[in-house]
Structure 1
Amino acid sequence: MLSLPALYMAEIEIKFATRQSSHQLLEECVVPFVEKTGARLEKLPAQSLQNDYYDTPEQLFHEHKIGFRVRQNGDQIEQTVKTQGNVDAGLHARGEYNVSLSKPVPDLTLFPREIWPQDWNIVDINTQLSRQFSTHFKREGYLVFWQNSQIEMVVDKGEAATEKISAEINEIELELKTGRVEDLFALAALVNQHAEVRLSDVSKAARGYQLLHGWQLHVKPLPAVLPLHHNISTEAAFAEAVKCALAHWQHHEHLFIETGSVKMLQEVGTSVRLLLQSVSLYLPVLQCPQMLALHKQLMDYAQQWSWLDDLQSLRYLLSKKSLFARFLSKHPALVSYLQGRKAGLLHAHEPAHGFYATESTAIKLGAAQLLELKPWQSHAQGFDVPVMEHAKGWLSQGWQTLQQSMPKNRNMQEANYAAIEMLLRQTLWNGFLLADMFPEEHGQFRAPWLDIVKGIDELKALLILQNAISDTELASPTEAREWVASKITSLVQVMERTRQIAVQGDLYWQNLNLNND
């Protein structure tokens, strides 16, 4: 705590989103099991919180990822600034500054000057403030005396609203008041075991801004390669990989939950595979029981999402921008069949339900806990050496295995490409995770191999189309089959030419002098 006009609090919390009433979920599904552990629960006074969020016309706070609100709880009025901080897999750690007010009118000049960006004129900004949106909710909960820690466990039920639109708020939040972060994770795991929850990295302020600006249904692409500096340690490089995968996962999962946009599901599948490959790659060095457990969970979980490959193929076939659009426009029965298969996949697998499943949340909690507690430090050696000492060997091993599976002088057919797909993707993921430490030539090396992966995706779509022709009554099925067969032949020929270029590329990790920092 600082002796300043504003009270500063370092906030560490885990936030869950729920699909049903958070109050009912807490009382019926969580509290009884927390009490069974021997933890002591102290009921907190219920609060009705009225929150108005302010910003400038240029959205200055939003641009700097700062949340600023005025909160009223009965006769108590308080203004709060929350700094950007860090959110890793749902573990929120950020600065919070609170100042009491006599009336619900914001006054930025009451906060310490040092909390703001240096170039901000606070007096001028204060005159520009206007209310952007509100979050009004009822808060109930308990102070939990868990192991050697005190954790505030509360539920928020209400809504976020602009002048034109609103969205429901149903959340369970766990905030560490005193004690150990591992106790916070232990309580979070218990909540996940007994309630249908989804780990959330989206604050109430962020939801308000999403309502204000409208949903941006664009896929947020991964970088070309994971940004890393040359001397980064092995454990730090692993942390960057996990953070990247989880951020991508949670961003697109959230957009799917809020909008139902099916294209977000493929990005979730990509994130799960990236997270799995990150754990697989670093497991030999960071080996510990927790890493092994997470690896097994991810292996099982990735298998549960394997149906996304068929969904991606169907979406590609049905896209008006695909290479098949003109052909399919002549065969409405095929289009109807493919649309039915797509709808059937979504109905059978219920992805929204899957995101609230225990396994999904357990993986995110497990990954966040790994990054926070670093359990490998008491089980393994070499975690603090530069990852560059491992990178060349890891990349060479993957490349050699790939060469053995698709020799340069071998003519590959569609079945051969299907057989090496997983190995090729794993090798390219390893490159994504490590290539940034090497010269820029990695882009030239990776480009043709990435084109081959795109070719495999097109090939899988064509094979689904080929099977669909057999399952559909067409006026001229022979002509349709011949068209698909010719496309498969042409595609494989292009992939073969691309492969001949790809295998001639210089191995970008081979010529780097490790003594040059």
Structure 2
Amino acid sequence: MNAEIELKLLFQLEQQQTLISLLDSLPNSEQQACRKLSNAYFDTPDLQLRLWDMGLRVRGCDGKREQTIKTAGTVIGGIHSRPEYNLDIDQAEPDLNLFPSNIWPDAANITAVQSQLTCLFDTDFERRTWHIYVDESLVEVALDIGEVSVTRDGETKSEPICELEFELMAGKTGALIELGIKVAETIPMRLGKASKAFRGYRLAAQSSPLSLEVLEFIALEAGQDLKQTLTSLLSTGLDRWQQLEAMILETDVHSLEQVPTLCYRLRACIRLLRCTLEQFNLLSDSLNANFDSIEGHLSFVETGLSLSEVLSHNCQLIAKQPTKAKLAEQALRALQQLSISSLMQKMLADTCYGSLQLSLVDLLFAIRAGETRVDIKTDLKTFADQMQEASWQKILGLMPSEADLTSCEYQSFARALDDSIFVGVAYGELYTRQSRDAFRAPWQDLVLGIRTLAAYRQLAHISKSLDIDISDWLQNKEESLVFAMEHSRRSALSNLPYWR
């Protein structure tokens, strides 16, 4: 048995030659043979191996075949660690009985599973490898270019493979991250969460669609220390970031209205990571600069959300407008012209994106290893209370109960409200659900109200461009909404905070 410890990065095909030149030029780099690998992935029709968190393949290379099974492993901040068993075979079909008997779950009927095995998908790619020494550690770097494909009923579907894998052959895990950062500082890269097998299952429609509510509370336990808390917050944030990124890139063009919300959740996840580093006094100037750069790339989110709000629920916001059809058509056109897909690709092409991801992975492992210390001398519950109280006092300063707020003021406070909600997302699981949810509900309503106010502002631009006068209607809707929000805000301010 081998235990793979690897880091996977994704890149664009046009960067291939630049990447090869860079890897050739690195100190202590030795290029190895270039091989063509064909891989057939097997499972039963009811995906029994997948249910056991196992992956089975037969790999062909240079006229030889090898069967491999990977068992349940872990992914922490983009570093994959998964036990695997490799055996040479002389046939195209795998033989499960050749693997050690102790890898299977208790009472598993391997004979029955073997009889039902079928090839679900293939991954075929050219692999170019390097052995690179990083201090006293040896890393194998594999550049894979090819495709994952599924053939069913005579029809073939495929997706490209452009991956760079760093596998630790000997030494310390930190060598993977150090080498990854060196590459990502020069060539646009991003963490790769999904394995080739996972992508194959999805392409074969044998895996459920990606889904994630990014503002779900993070699982923390009252008894853990702040070091454990910080690693949980960072690893969960990185995991959600990668999943949201995949959801955005895989969203069908016909689901254009969903993309702004996914991008909002992506930005929320990144902001939560930034907020966490700030709370633990770990937000360096270089990290801060990369966060700022990504914020700049995501500056379209508010406009996208406003347009999406106009179009949502069959344009319910403008349902009673006689000119609904024209307004909706123009809103859709504006959303299309925003070209979110191109803006996302531009962000991914910025080296700050992958560099920030890898820097956070580096920090995460440094904390786990004790190389970066958490010097805050308090227990988790007290720390959580302090963070939420500080956030609450900021909100009180911005919107005191005796002040009357305007539509513009509410929209200017959107970021502060978001940040306050993120603090609750991080530590909310430490408190009783009833008191926590009752306190948070009116503030979440205010956030939705602010989004609707922004949609009204967007409608003002749209109607003006169409030479349609709905100014009186918009003013009445805005004034009514602000009146309701003011009532909700004063009610919310009178509630006792659940952390006190």
Q: 1:383 to 1:400 in 2, by over 3 A?
A: closer
5+ residue gaps in structure 1?
A: 1-7, 511-517
Of residues 258-267 and 413-422 in structure 1, the stretch that sits farther from structure 2 once superposed is 258-267
Preserved contact between residue 15 and residue 200 of structure 1 (Cα < 8 Å)? yes
**How many residue pairs are counted as aligned between the two chains?**
492
1:1-150 → structure 2 map (5 Å cutoff): 8-20=1-13, 25-26=15-16, 28-41=17-30, 43-150=31-138
Preserved contact between residue 414 and residue 492 of structure 1 (Cα < 8 Å)? yes
2:33 is paired with a residue whose SS is: coil
User: Which residue in the other structure is 1:443 paired with?
Assistant: 437
Separation of aligned partners in 2, 1:216 and 1:466: 40
Amino acid at match of 2:101: R
Shift of 1:327: 4.5
Separation of aligned partners in 1, 2:374 and 2:341: 45
Of residues 79-88 and 271-280 in structure 1, the stretch that sits farther from structure 2 once superposed is 271-280
Residue 403, structure 1, aligned to residue 393, structure 2: no
Shift of 1:16: 2.2
1:66-113 Cα shifts (integer Å, max 9, x gaps): 211111213322111122322234322222221222322222222223
Preserved contact between residue 304 and residue 335 of structure 2 (Cα < 8 Å)? yes
Preserved contact between residue 77 and residue 100 of structure 1 (Cα < 8 Å)? yes
TM (norm. structure 2) is: 0.90
Q: 1:273 aligns with which of 268, 274, 281?
A: 268
Q: 1:197 aligns with which of 161, 170, 189?
A: 189
Q: 1:376 to 1:93 in 2, by over 3 A?
A: closer
Separation of aligned partners in 1, 2:371 and 2:173: 17
Amino acid at match of 2:224: I
Separation of aligned partners in 1, 2:140 and 2:341: 38
Q: 1:500 aligns with which of 490, 497, 500?
A: 490
Preserved contact between residue 140 and residue 156 of structure 1 (Cα < 8 Å)? yes
Shift of 1:33: 3.4
User: Which residue in the other structure is 1:433 paired with?
Assistant: 426
Separation of aligned partners in 1, 2:173 and 2:497: 43
User: Which residue in the other structure is 1:310 paired with?
Assistant: 303
Preserved contact between residue 40 and residue 146 of structure 1 (Cα < 8 Å)? no
Preserved contact between residue 80 and residue 96 of structure 1 (Cα < 8 Å)? yes
User: Which residue in the other structure is 2:219 paired with?
Assistant: 227
Shift of 1:119: 4.5
Preserved contact between residue 414 and residue 450 of structure 2 (Cα < 8 Å)? yes
User: Which residue in the other structure is 2:247 paired with?
Assistant: 255
Q: 1:386 to 1:71 in 2, by over 3 A?
A: farther
User: Which residue in the other structure is 2:452 paired with?
Assistant: 458
Preserved contact between residue 192 and residue 361 of structure 1 (Cα < 8 Å)? yes
User: Which residue in the other structure is 2:471 paired with?
Assistant: 481
Separation of aligned partners in 2, 1:218 and 1:208: 14
User: Which residue in the other structure is 1:162 paired with?
Assistant: 150
Root mean square deviation of aligned Cα: 2.6
Of residues 371-380 and 207-216 in structure 1, the stretch that sits farther from structure 2 once superposed is 371-380
Separation of aligned partners in 2, 1:47 and 1:215: 30
Separation of aligned partners in 1, 2:277 and 2:190: 27
Shift of 1:267: 2.5
Q: 1:151 aligns with which of 139, 144, 153?
A: 139
Separation of aligned partners in 2, 1:128 and 1:436: 43
Residue 345, structure 1, aligned to residue 335, structure 2: no
Separation of aligned partners in 2, 1:282 and 1:196: 24
Separation of aligned partners in 2, 1:60 and 1:375: 34
Q: 1:67 to 1:385 in 2, by over 3 A?
A: farther
User: Which residue in the other structure is 2:278 paired with?
Assistant: 283
1:262-314 Cα shifts (integer Å, max 9, x gaps): 43454244233333333334435353xx7553233213322321211111111
1:119-146 Cα shifts (integer Å, max 9, x gaps): 4322322222211111122212222233
Q: 1:424 to 1:79 in 2, by over 3 A?
A: same
1:321 is paired with a residue whose SS is: helix
Q: 1:208 aligns with which of 154, 178, 200?
A: 200
TM (norm. structure 1) is: 0.87
Amino acid at match of 1:48: K
Q: 1:374 to 1:396 in 2, by over 3 A?
A: same
Q: 1:264 to 1:120 in 2, by over 3 A?
A: farther
1:387-443 Cα shifts (integer Å, max 9, x gaps): 223111111111122122212232222122123221111111101100101112211
User: Which residue in the other structure is 1:391 paired with?
Assistant: 384
User: Which residue in the other structure is 1:514 paired with?
Assistant: none
Amino acid at match of 2:19: V
Amino acid at match of 2:390: Q
User: Which residue in the other structure is 2:237 paired with?
Assistant: 245
1:324 is paired with a residue whose SS is: helix
Of residues 346-355 and 315-324 in structure 1, the stretch that sits farther from structure 2 once superposed is 346-355
Shift of 1:362: 0.8
1:229 is paired with a residue whose SS is: coil
Shift of 1:381: 4.6
Separation of aligned partners in 1, 2:136 and 2:212: 41
Separation of aligned partners in 1, 2:448 and 2:456: 13
Q: 1:469 aligns with which of 445, 449, 463?
A: 463
Separation of aligned partners in 2, 1:196 and 1:278: 21
Separation of aligned partners in 2, 1:327 and 1:139: 59
Amino acid at match of 2:64: Q
Separation of aligned partners in 1, 2:277 and 2:241: 20
Shift of 1:384: 8.2
Shift of 1:19: 2.5
Shift of 1:446: 0.9
User: Which residue in the other structure is 1:424 paired with?
Assistant: 417
User: Which residue in the other structure is 1:355 paired with?
Assistant: 348
1:425-464 Cα shifts (integer Å, max 9, x gaps): 1111101100101112211111111111111111111111
Separation of aligned partners in 2, 1:174 and 1:44: 14
5+ residue gaps in structure 2?
A: none
Separation of aligned partners in 1, 2:427 and 2:235: 15
1:169 is paired with a residue whose SS is: strand
User: Which residue in the other structure is 1:515 paired with?
Assistant: none
Shift of 1:376: 9.7
